[in-house]
Amino acid sequence: MSTLAQQPAGRPDRSGANKRLALKLGLAAALMFGFGYAMAPMYGRFCQFLGLDRARPELADVNAAALRLEFDTNVADGLPLTVEALEPIVAARPGKLVKAKFRVTNTSDQSMVIRAVPSFAPPRSAGYLSKLECFCFNAMTMAPNEAREVTVVLAVAAKLPDELGAATLSYTFHRLEGEMAKTGGNPT
């Protein structure tokens, strides 16, 4: 007589329940694998249906006219600061990156915390120019009489409307005081 075939006294036979559980777990694993395998095409169709299909980058037309991009700088009233674009006008090619540098100089004998606020003109041009890196993302602490170069990197859309021949990116510099200076102008 085999010892495996004998059930201990008082214990019910669970071999049928264990087989059903193993079958259910195997089926669940197969379904999860199938769902994972089908996820990529389903996601693509779902995004396309909703109009969110941005996974495919549009190729830039190499013969497209360049966008005349002008950089403008302004300083809030009474702020002892000078700001100038090192290259105030650039030809921005569709689908390319534009890197622009500015020189910011604190003309006072006191340190200050400043922040640049950007704006685009015409406003719809903001939809075709994306700031990837910008000194306007964070506040700057300027030492007395300090001069520094700061950079903005823009990505130009691959397709630009024909009527958008020029755009201006303007920065207005403001002093941050009190709590705003401590937090860099960001909400806490």
- What is the secondary structure of 127-188 as a DSSP string? GTEEEEEEGGGS-EEE-TT-EEEEEEEEEEPSS--TT--EEEEEEEEEEE-HHHHHHTT---
Which pLDDT score is estimated for 97?
94
Which pLDDT score is estimated for 188?
45
In the three-class reduction of DSSP (H, G, I as helix; E, B as strand; rest coil), residue 26 is classed as: helix
Whole-prediction pTM value?
Answer: 0.63
d(CA 60, CA 75): 36
Residue (of 2, 121, 8) closest to 67 by Cα position: 121
Which pLDDT score is estimated for 14?
81
d(CA 59, CA 56): 9
Domain boundaries, the chain: 14-56, 67-183
Residues 6+ apart with CB under 8 A from 180: 113
- CA distances to 24, 117, 138, 148 from 73, rounded to whole Å, are 67, 10, 17, 15
d(CA 121, CA 142): 28
In the three-class reduction of DSSP (H, G, I as helix; E, B as strand; rest coil), residue 43 is classed as: helix
Which pLDDT score is estimated for 50?
74
Residue (of 157, 17, 148) closest to 86 by Cα position: 148
In tens digits, the chain (188 residues) has pLDDT values of: 455 556 566 677 788 888 999 999 999 999 999 888 888 888 878 777 776 655 455 555 556 688 999 999 999 988 999 999 999 999 999 999 999 999 999 999 999 999 999 999 999 999 999 999 999 999 999 999 999 999 999 999 988 888 888 999 999 999 998 766 566 555 44
Residue (of 104, 184, 174) closest to 146 by Cα position: 104
Which pLDDT score is estimated for 49?
75
Candidate CATH numbers 3.40.640.10, 2.60.120.10, 2.60.370.10, 3.30.450.20; the one for domain 67-183: 2.60.370.10
